[in-house]
Amino acid sequence: MAEKFLNLVGGKWVPAKSGEFFENRNPANWEELIGLFPKSGPEDVDAAVGAAKEAFRSWRLVPAPKRAEIIVRAGEILRARKEELARDMTREMGKVIAETRGDVQEAIDCAYFAAGEGRRLYGDTTPSELPDKMALSIRCPIGVAALITPWNFPMAIPSWKAFPALVAGNTIVLKPATETPLSSYHLFRVLEEAGMPPGVVNLVTGGGSSCGQPLAEHRDVGVVSFTGSSAVGKLLAQATGQSLKRLSLELGGKNAQVVMDDADIDLAIEGALWGAFGTTGQRCTATSRLILHRPIAAEFTRRLVAAAGQIAIGNGLDAGVQMGPTVSEKQRQTVHDYVEIGRKEGAKLLLGGASLTEGPHANGWFHQPTIFGDVTPGMRIAQEEIFGPVLSILTVDSFEEAIAVLNDTVYGLSSSIYTRDVNRAMRAIRDIEAGITYINGPTIGAEVHLPFGGVKETGNGHREASHTVLDIFTEWKSVYIDYSGRLQRAQIDNY
């Protein structure tokens, strides 16, 4: 019988009040039931938020360096258990073991980086315009933080949100994606073991409408951090706008890699393969468009298609496998639908285009690496986020056209250009409309000490990771200390 997992509310592991559970299955082998998780609803959310609100009263008074020490211990536990956590993540999410090890490593890196902020949390100290008066600014925690996370990085993304929120003095309630609750369960077990006080961290599992929406809209939640689709992000913006609570959105992407005629072709092919087909294309930073300078387009396309055709597809725990399944049957169907859209739009199918349903792939949600040629900028497959192993190739005649085509999308997360010309590289950095730009590297591979996020419909102006994440989880307070012993009126008494 499958193991039944529980929610974490107020320091206790409890079932959903409904008593109902949902299944978590292996996308590489749908017959493998990993576990049953609480099917939570508004009552469970209310209990978790209530516990977090109560715990905030004392947690905010713990000195930030002491809060950070718990996060350091969590990082050490994650490091010690990296392999077992990675293997469980591959079982529930599907990406290959090398990538899930990287996912856990990102959580470890984030723990160490966020903990360092516990001895910074810098504000500003400035001169006052009046005598015998001090002026400074400090960061203050907001309160209860609602964290709503996706399935593609089921430990890295929760850690990006949870660790800095906690170091800043907030308490948290996390609702992970229903496809990958086990990794969040493991993360919260680690936080509990590291010494997190009861109620500071709370975990509820369940669907978006029954669990995520009530959490985001809860009156006692002060800040919401959401990673997911732009469509859902817009709905959250409308809902949270009614109370004017803080909202951070990290949303979709339609990222492009440009390859100019002076590029290192071998390096650019390697980058395109990793960018397009790593994580089965299920990354918000995945390379979904490949923009090729015409002089090298034919050779590049031929070599890329040949290389992509050799990608080994299977269970991510098996040796030699380079690409796992899509996360679910629904996601594979979405990929299939976009393949049909591309065909109808007149794009040329150069590779793949089909689901894998026989032999070793019979029980999983596998799809072939797929490449389209003859794609034009206005096609849907060049404009809409697919979130699967589908790459669209567009051809341009100049650097200027390449940048214009790259920018011709409602998204602006990640971008890439391969060129040996430093002048082109610098103009690309200046002119590309994206939150992330790589020079001679693929569109994926963020590091935790740099800001992560994008422009246009990729987000609402916030940045995760780096010290910039603190702007999500803190409020600024300006402080004036007047030790003159008399009334001093700024802008009046000093002029």
At 325-340, the pLDDT tens digits run 999 999 999 999 999 9
At 119-131, the pLDDT tens digits run 999 999 999 999 9
The stretch 205-210 carries a mean pLDDT of: 96
**Do 44 and 60 sit in the same domain of this protein?**
yes
CA 451 → CA 74, 339, 463, 465, 471, distances in Å? 22, 33, 5, 5, 11
Label the pairing between strands 287-293 and 390-396: parallel
Q: Is residue 314 part of a domain?
A: yes
**Do 472 and 412 sit in the same domain of this protein?**
no
Last residue of some domain: 389, 411, 439? 439
**Do 277 and 162 sit in the same domain of this protein?**
no
Give the Cα separation of 323 and 481 in Å (integer).
60
Label the pairing between strands 287-293 and 133-141: unpaired
Per-residue confidence band for 315, with pLDDT thresholds at 50, 70 and 90: very high
Query: Residue 195: is its pLDDT beyond 90?
Result: yes
Q: Is residue 488 part of a domain?
A: no
pLDDT the model gives residue 290: 98
Query: Residue 58: is its pLDDT beyond 90?
Result: yes
Q: What is the DSSP string of 189-244?
A: HHHHHHTPPTTTEEE----IIIIIHHHHH-TTEEEEEEES-HHHHHHHHHHHHTTT
pLDDT the model gives residue 226: 98
pLDDT the model gives residue 386: 98
Place of tokens 């964290």: 147
At 396-407, the pLDDT tens digits run 999 999 999 999
At 380-419, the pLDDT tens digits run 999 999 999 999 999 999 999 999 999 999 999 999 999 9
Number of structural domains, the chain? 2
Backbone torsion region of residue 36, taken as left when φ is above 0, otherwise alpha when ψ lies between -120 and 50, otherwise beta: beta
**Do 261 and 369 sit in the same domain of this protein?**
yes
**Do 213 and 290 sit in the same domain of this protein?**
no
Give the Cα separation of 476 and 318 in Å (integer).
50
pLDDT the model gives residue 494: 82
The stretch 181-195 carries a mean pLDDT of: 98
Q: Is residue 451 part of a domain?
A: no
**Do 290 and 192 sit in the same domain of this protein?**
no
Q: Which of 92, 250, 385, 457 is catalytic?
A: 250
CATH number at residue 314: 3.40.309.10
Q: Is residue 432 part of a domain?
A: yes
**Do 267 and 209 sit in the same domain of this protein?**
no
Q: Is residue 399 part of a domain?
A: yes
Whole-structure pTM value = 0.97
Query: Residue 1: is its pLDDT beyond 90?
Result: no
**Do 85 and 223 sit in the same domain of this protein?**
yes
At 86-98, the pLDDT tens digits run 999 999 999 999 9
Strands annotated E in 10-71: 12-14, 21-26, 29-38
Note if 193 is an active site residue: no
Note if 32 is an active site residue: no
CATH number at residue 85: 3.40.605.10
**Do 84 and 201 sit in the same domain of this protein?**
yes
Per-residue confidence band for 77, with pLDDT thresholds at 50, 70 and 90: very high
Q: Is residue 486 part of a domain?
A: no
Give the Cα separation of 272 and 442 in Å (integer).
6
pLDDT the model gives residue 137: 98
pLDDT the model gives residue 228: 97
Q: Is residue 471 part of a domain?
A: yes
Q: Is residue 485 part of a domain?
A: no
**Do 171 and 185 sit in the same domain of this protein?**
yes
Structural domain range at position 211: 7-251+459-479
**Do 243 and 327 sit in the same domain of this protein?**
no
pLDDT the model gives residue 78: 98
**Do 429 and 463 sit in the same domain of this protein?**
no
Taking all residues of the chain, what is their mean pLDDT, rounded to a whole number?
97
Per-residue confidence band for 495, with pLDDT thresholds at 50, 70 and 90: confident
Q: How many CB atoms lie within 10 A of CB 377?
A: 17
Cβ 164 vs Cβ 473: under 8 Å: yes
pLDDT the model gives residue 464: 97
Q: Which of 92, 110, 192, 284 is catalytic?
A: 284
